[in-house]
Structure 1
Amino acid sequence: MIRSSAPTRIDLAGGTLDIWPLYLLLGNPPTLNAAIDLYATVEIRPRKDKTIVVESKDLKLRETFPSLESLPDNHPLELVLRALKFYRPARGAEIVTDCQAPAGSGIAGSSALNIALNGALNRMTGQRYKNRQLIDIAKNIETQVIRTPTGWQDYFPALLGGVQAVLPTMTGVTSRQLPIDLDDLNRRFVLCYTGKPRQSGINNWEVTKSALDGDKGVLQKLSRIKDAALKMERVLDQGNLDRMAPVFAEEWTARKTLAPGISTAEMERIISAALREGALAAKVCGAGGGGCLAFIVRKNARERVAAAITRNGGQVLNFRFVRRGLRVREI
């Protein structure tokens, strides 16, 4: 049996800019994020026959297929099925997936699951691919599934853990791990789930198309997000975590201008309540319209902020930042 797990993430600054070819239009800015211990997990039990059984615990779905060749393209478990088609294991298998991130939370649960799945299937089929190649494979599979442009940033914390600066270049996308004191970072953050998005936030395709069409308004908004990302990179490089909050707030202010549905009245109510109790800044995780809000809080104010969030309808998620990324074990 093979077991794998990969962490989700909180994006700190620069999301959306990691989508090809947006970063090429903006001078290849960084995206900053940090891995957290809400894990996606995969368990594979090889079978002696060709039957493939796929179970998603978090989606409460279980399907049985007679063979690899019988796997459909359009299916609620398409991410798993497309990964199976790519790796083409010689035998059947029972695959069980799960994710601790709530549905639509915006903390990259599907990308973490994608990396965990690729890690497990790569081990099952003889480790034909190096770790870095798993990012390319996972990104391509996800694009096939959701049929819209996808960014790079979510795969790096899932694979590598820690605090990452995801760096697009003319020869490819790389990352570097930032030497941040995670205990200090943990004391400064609160994560809140506001519920599954009822409306879409950022539409990646519309933003990308507008930028490619030369829409000056969209390009200016993306440039403001870029400025915040560059500032966040400098702050993290210097290890001066006291300076994170103003940049976090600046990124959120810029991000809200990209589309009208990124923030909601419910989210703004929770943010206002948290700010009154000692939060210094807040920002949505992922595309917005719901999902998770991350808060940077004053030291010793975490409990007051968490209570304010709960009173106003938010669900506080217990988490810690972690250095570990993808882990694959054979049992």
Structure 2
Amino acid sequence: MIVRSRAPLRLGLAGGGTDVSPFSDQHGGFVMNVTIDKFAYATVSDARSDLAEFEAQDAGHADRMDPARVDLAPGPTQLMRGVYLRVCQQFLGGKRPALRVRAHSDAPPGSGLGSSSTMVVTLVAAFNEYFGLALGEYEIAHLAYEIERKDLGLSGGKQDQYAAAFGGFNFMEFYAGDRVIVNPLRIKDWVWCELEASLVLYFTGVSRASAAIIDEQSRNVREGRTQSLEAMHRLKLEAVQMKESLLRGDLARFAEVMQSGWEAKKKMASSITNPMIDQIEALAFANGARAAKVSGAGGGGFMMFVCDPSERVRLVRALSGAGGTVYDTHFTPYGATSWKIG
């Protein structure tokens, strides 16, 4: 049997960082995000031998091993092995079947599009289909979160897993005890189209390790640093404001909130921005951008810009000459999807 799955990457529009503990546990977090037509893909199939096979196709790396020897050691296939071990432990009574697992993504790790968490979600969705586990969106997202954050000990928040599982425009609430509420938004067609025409996605060419940034942010909250805490409360409020601007179709307000949120986010941790990001932002504003922000934890990866659609070509040309890559992208309403072949 062959099972395939895919899950969409996301753009963090507002509130990113408030989904990270301890802030979300102490104060509650609000995040506004949307999924795009860039995906993480996985295939789970019967093994070709009595060995378990894990292939990280992006990295050109494969591990073949006795199922009894599969562990959580760092490496290109760690996410795959983590999902395999948790599913075997939680749903198969500890039995470890020989399987072949392959995966790849449309975006590199450290892109700021939630690629690592989306990869875990698509892997969970594939195993869910392969073993007939009948997990719903909340269960897939929560399981992916536990595997990545608790089993593997990787730093980060919760929004990426839920965005990948649900898809579309979502206003998310995060509370203590891993309680999450996903509120899908019904966005009018003309707002959807206008925002797509207004948004420019730019890859700086520099992937970054988000863990150090997230750890600094969490440390600032634990230590009660006023500037960081005030910035996070502003981000939380701006997630609500962005939700309202989308539902009302007020895209001028949308741009204002995005820029205000980016200015607040810079105060959460010292490494969120840097001279390269500042230079790209200045270039964009000189060529028609109305708002800018880095997607994800910061420090590099993808940046997004909002402009009047009539200024889009000028902005794209300017950014294309800055050493990075402009990506053509569209929103997608679909979350994690899995299907059987044969």
Q: Same fold (TM over 0.5)?
A: yes
Structure 1 position 95, deviation (Å): 1.1
The 8 Å contact of residues 4 and 41 in structure 1, kept in 2 or not, is answered as: yes
Q: How does 1:180-219 map to 2 (within 5 A)?
A: 180=187, 181=189, 182-197=192-207, 203-219=213-229
Q: Deviations over 1:185-232 (max 9, x none)?
A: 211101001123457686323322332333323212212222322221
The 8 Å contact of residues 111 and 208 in structure 2, kept in 1 or not, is answered as: no
Specify which of 277, 295, 298 is matched with residue 288 of structure 1: 298
The 8 Å contact of residues 3 and 43 in structure 2, kept in 1 or not, is answered as: yes
Q: How does 1:289-328 map to 2 (within 5 A)?
A: 289-328=299-338
Structure 2 partner of 1:25: 26
Amino acid at match of 1:52: A
Amino acid at match of 1:12: L
The separation in 2 between residues aligned to 1:262 and 1:187, in whole angstroms, is 27
Amino acid at match of 1:66: D
Structure 1 position 168, deviation (Å): 2.2
Structure 1 position 169, deviation (Å): 4.4
Q: How does 1:109-124 map to 2 (within 5 A)?
A: 109-124=115-130
The 8 Å contact of residues 52 and 64 in structure 1, kept in 2 or not, is answered as: yes
Of stretches 201-210 and 55-64 in structure 1, the one that deviates more from structure 2 is: 201-210
SS in 2 for 1:124: helix
Structure 2 partner of 1:272: 282
SS in 1 for 2:318: helix
The 8 Å contact of residues 235 and 244 in structure 1, kept in 2 or not, is answered as: yes
The separation in 1 between residues aligned to 2:118 and 2:34, in whole angstroms, is 13
1:316/1:138 Cα in 2 relative to 1: closer, same or farther (>3 Å)? same
The 8 Å contact of residues 208 and 301 in structure 2, kept in 1 or not, is answered as: no
Unpaired stretches in structure 2, ≥5 consecutive residues: none
Amino acid at match of 2:17: T
Q: Deviations over 1:22-77 (max 9, x none)?
A: 12433x2420000001100001111275311111111221111122x211221311
The 8 Å contact of residues 9 and 34 in structure 1, kept in 2 or not, is answered as: yes
The separation in 2 between residues aligned to 1:98 and 1:197, in whole angstroms, is 17
Root-mean-square deviation over aligned CA pairs: 2.0
Amino acid at match of 2:332: V
Q: Deviations over 1:116-164 (max 9, x none)?
A: 1000011112215333111111011111466254311111221111111
Q: Deviations over 1:298-325 (max 9, x none)?
A: 1222221111111111211121111111
Amino acid at match of 2:339: R
Structure 1 partner of 2:12: 11
The separation in 2 between residues aligned to 1:264 and 1:228, in whole angstroms, is 23
- Please say if 1:71 is aligned against 2:70: yes
The separation in 2 between residues aligned to 1:227 and 1:107, in whole angstroms, is 22
Structure 1 partner of 2:62: 62
The 8 Å contact of residues 213 and 272 in structure 2, kept in 1 or not, is answered as: no
Structure 1 position 269, deviation (Å): 1.6
Amino acid at match of 1:206: E
The 8 Å contact of residues 103 and 196 in structure 1, kept in 2 or not, is answered as: no
SS in 1 for 2:159: coil
1:158/1:53 Cα in 2 relative to 1: closer, same or farther (>3 Å)? same
TM-score normalised by L of structure 1: 0.93
- The percent identity for this pair of structures is 28
Structure 1 partner of 2:35: 35
